[in-house]
Structure 1
Amino acid sequence: MLRVLRTKDLVHAIATFQDGLHPDVLPPTRLLRCVRLRRGSYERQLAAVHDCLKPWLARHGTSSLGLFPASLHRHLFYYAVVYSNLDVLVFLDTAGPVRLSAVDWALVVDVGHLDVLRFFLDRHYDGGDERVMAHAIETGAVAAVQCLFAHGILPAKDALNEACTNGHAHVARFLHAHGLGAWDPNTLMFVLVHGHLDVLRFLLDAGLGDFDASATFGFHVSHLEMAAKCGHLDVVQYLAARDRRHVPQAFLEAARSGHVAIVRFLDDGESVDVSVAAQEAVVRGHRDVVAYLVQAHAAALDMHALATLAASRKRRAMHALLLQHTHPSTL
Structure 2
Amino acid sequence: MATTESAATRAATQRYLTLFMARDWVHPSQPPAYIGAFAAMAAVDVASFDHLLAPRAATSAVLTSRDLFALLAAYQVGVPGATLYLGRLFKELTSSGATLHARTLTAFLDALPVWFERHGGDRIDKLLPGYRRRRLVHYGLILGNVDILSCFETCHVLQITEQDLLLAGEHGHLSIIRFLLPRISVVHASMIMHQAVANGHLDAVTALHQAGGKASEAAYAEACASGHDPVVRFLHDAGYRYFPASLVADAAAHGHLGMIQFLHDIQYPDLDAAVSIAADCGHMEIVEFLFERRPYLWYAKRSKAPAVSSTDEHKMALNLLVARVLGTRDLFRLVVSFQRGCDKDTLALRQLLRAIDLTADDVLETLPLALAPVHAMFPAWAAARGVEHIDMYLPSKLFRHLVCYALVCDNVSALRELPIELSYHDLELAGLHGHPRIVAFLIETYVHAPHLLRITLKGAVRSGHVEALKQLHAAGVDVPDGCFQIACERGHLEVVEYLYEHHLGGVDGGGKHIVSQTTINGHLPVLRYLHARRFEGFDKFALRYAVELGHLGIVQFLHEIHTEKMYGLVYDAVPGGHLDVVRFLHQNGYNHDVKGVLWYALTKGQQDIARYLQEETALKKRWSRFQKQVSIKFHDLKKAITRR
Q: What RMSD in Å do the two structures reach over aligned CA positions?
A: 3.6
The answer to whether the aligner puts 1:30 opposite 2:30 as a matched pair is no
Distance 1:159 1:26 in 2: 42
| Correspondent of 1:76 among 398, 402, 406 | 402
Q: What residue is the counterpart of 2:423 in the other structure?
A: 101
Match of 2:573 in 1: 257
Structure 1 residue 53: Cα displacement: 2.4
Q: How much identity, in percent, do the aligned residues show?
A: 25
Per the alignment, residue 494 of structure 2 pairs with 170
- Indicate which of 13, 16, 19 corresponds to 2:337: 16
Task: Pick closer, same or farther for the CA change 1:32–1:279 going to 2, 3 Å.
Answer: closer
- The one of 525, 531, 540 equivalent to 1:204 is 531
Q: 1:250 to 1:263 in 2, by over 3 A?
A: farther
Instruction: Identify which of 67, 89, 109 aligns with 2:415.
Output: 89
Q: Deviation of residue 233 (structure 1)?
A: 0.8
Displacement, 1:202?
1.0
Q: Distance in 1 between matches of 2:402 and 2:503?
A: 39
- Contact 1:251/1:267, CA 8 A, preserved across alignment: no
| Number of residue pairs matched by the alignment | 281
Write the distance in 2 (CA, Å) between the matches of 1:299 and 1:63.
Answer: 79
Q: Residue 321 of structure 1 corresponds to which residue in structure 2?
A: none
Q: For residues 86-143 of structure 1, what are the alpha-carbon distances to aligned partners after superposition, in whole Å with 9 as ceiling and x for unaligned?
A: 2222223xxx3x2111111121122332211221122117663333333333343333
Partner of 2:390: 65
Mapped partners of 1:82, 1:118: distance in 2: 15
Partners of 2:342 and 2:517 lie apart in 1 by: 59
The one-letter amino acid paired with 2:553 is D
**For residue 298 of structure 1, what is the amino acid of its counterpart?**
A
Cα shift readout 1:128-184 (whole Å, capped 9, x = no counterpart): 333333333334333332222122112223332232233332221111011112332
For residues 238-294 of structure 1, give each alpha carbon's deviation from its aligned partner in whole angstroms, at most 9, with x where no partner exists.
Answer: 333x34675xx46841344313211212333x73546x1331342463543222111
CA distance in 1, matches of 2:498, 2:372: 35
Judge conservation of contact 1:228–1:236 (CA < 8 Å) in 2. Answer: yes
Structure 1 residues 194, 78: closer, same or farther in 2, change over 3 A? Answer: closer
Q: Secondary structure at the match of 2:452?
A: coil
CA distance in 1, matches of 2:340, 2:383: 23
1:251–1:54 distance in 2 versus 1, CA, 3 Å:
farther
In 2, the alpha carbon distance for the partners of 1:195 and 1:23 equals: 52
- Are the structure 2 counterparts of residues 300 and 32 from structure 1 closer, same or farther at C-alpha, using a change threshold of 3 Å? closer
Q: Are residues 139 and 83 of structure 1, via their aligned partners in 2, closer, same or farther at CA, if it must alter by over 3 Å?
A: closer
> Displacement, 1:24?
8.0
Given that 1:133 and 1:155 are in contact with CA atoms closer than 8 Å, whether structure 2 keeps it comes out as: yes
Amino acid in the other structure paired with 2:516:
M
Tell me: CA distance 1:37–1:300, structure 2 relative to 1, closer, same or farther (3 Å).
closer
CA contact (8 A) 2:547 2:555 kept: yes
- Structure 2 unaligned segments of length 5 or more: list them: 1-291, 293-325, 623-644
Cα separation, 1, equivalents of 2:517 and 2:367: 33
Where in structure 1 are there 5+ consecutive unaligned residues?
214-220, 303-331
**Corresponding residue of 1:56:** 381
Of the three residues 579, 592, 596, the one matched with 1:279 is 596
1:203–1:33 CA distance, 2 compared to 1 (3 A): closer
Is 1:115 the counterpart of 2:437? The answer is yes
Letter of the structure 2 residue corresponding to residue 234 of structure 1: G
Aligned to 2:466: 142
- In structure 1, the partner of 2:476 is 152
**CA pair 51-299 structure 1, distance change in 2 beyond 3 A:** closer
- With normalisation by structure 2, the TM-score equals 0.39
- Specify the code of the residue in structure 2 equivalent to 1:260: L
Report which stretch shifted further, 37-46 or 290-299: 37-46
**1:185 aligned residue (495, 511, 516):** 511
Which amino acid in structure 2 is aligned with residue 124 of structure 1? Answer: Y
Q: Secondary structure at the match of 1:161?
A: helix
2:589 and 2:401 map into 1 onto residues whose CA distance is 65
Shift of residue 212 of structure 1? 7.9
In 2 relative to 1, CA 107–298 (structure 1 residues): closer, same or farther, beyond 3 Å? same
Query: What is aligned with 1:228?
Result: 547
Q: Is the 8 A contact 1:140 1:168 kept in 2?
A: yes
Which residue of 290, 293, 296 corresponds with 2:610? 290
Alpha-carbon distance in structure 2 between the residues aligned to 1:88 and 1:235? 46
Query: Which whole-Å CA distance do the structure 1 matches of 2:558 and 2:433 have between them?
Result: 36
User: Are 1:228 and 1:251, in contact at CA under 8 Å, matched by a contact in 2?
Assistant: no
**Stretch of structure 1 that moved more, 53-62 or 281-290:** 281-290
Which amino acid is the alignment partner of residue 266 of structure 1?
L
Q: Could you report, residue by residue, the CA deviation over 1:47-69 in whole angstroms, capped at 9, with x for unpaired residues? A: 33333322122233323435325
Q: 1:245 to 1:16 in 2, by over 3 A?
A: closer
For 2:481, what is the secondary structure of its paired residue? coil
Q: TM-score, normalised by structure 1?
A: 0.70
AA aligned to 1:193 is: I
Q: 1:294, 1:301 within 8 Å by CA — same for their partners in 2?
A: no
- In structure 2, how many angstroms separate the alpha carbons of the residues matched to 1:36 and 1:88? 18
Closer, same or farther: CA 282–199 of 1 in aligned 2, 3 Å: same
How many angstroms does 1:7 deviate by?
Answer: 11
Aligned equivalents of 2:544 and 2:349: distance in 1? 60
Kindly provide the amino acid, as one letter, of the partner of residue 493 in structure 2: A
The Cα of 1:189 is off from its aligned counterpart by: 2.5
Whole-angstrom CA distance in 1 between matches of 2:619 and 2:336: 95
Shift of 1:197: 0.9
Alpha-carbon displacement from aligned partner over 1:63-91 (angstroms, at most 9, x marks no partner): 34353255143333223222211222222
Structure 1 residues 283 and 36 mapped into 2: Cα distance closer, same or farther (>3 Å)?
Answer: closer
CA contact (8 A) 1:229 1:254 kept: no
Residues 1:245 and 1:177: Cα distance change in structure 2 (over 3 Å): closer
Q: Output the CA distance in 1 between the equivalents of 2:335 and 2:610.
A: 86
Contact 2:493–2:526 (Cα < 8 Å) also in 1: yes
**Distance apart, 1:299 and its partner CA:** 4.4
- Partner-residue secondary structure (3-state), 1:99: coil
1:174 alignment partner AA:
Y
Residue type at the aligned position of 1:118: A
C-alpha contact (below 8 Å) 1:228/1:250 kept by paired residues: no
Instruction: Say if 1:138 and 1:166, in contact at 8 Å, map to a contact too.
Output: yes
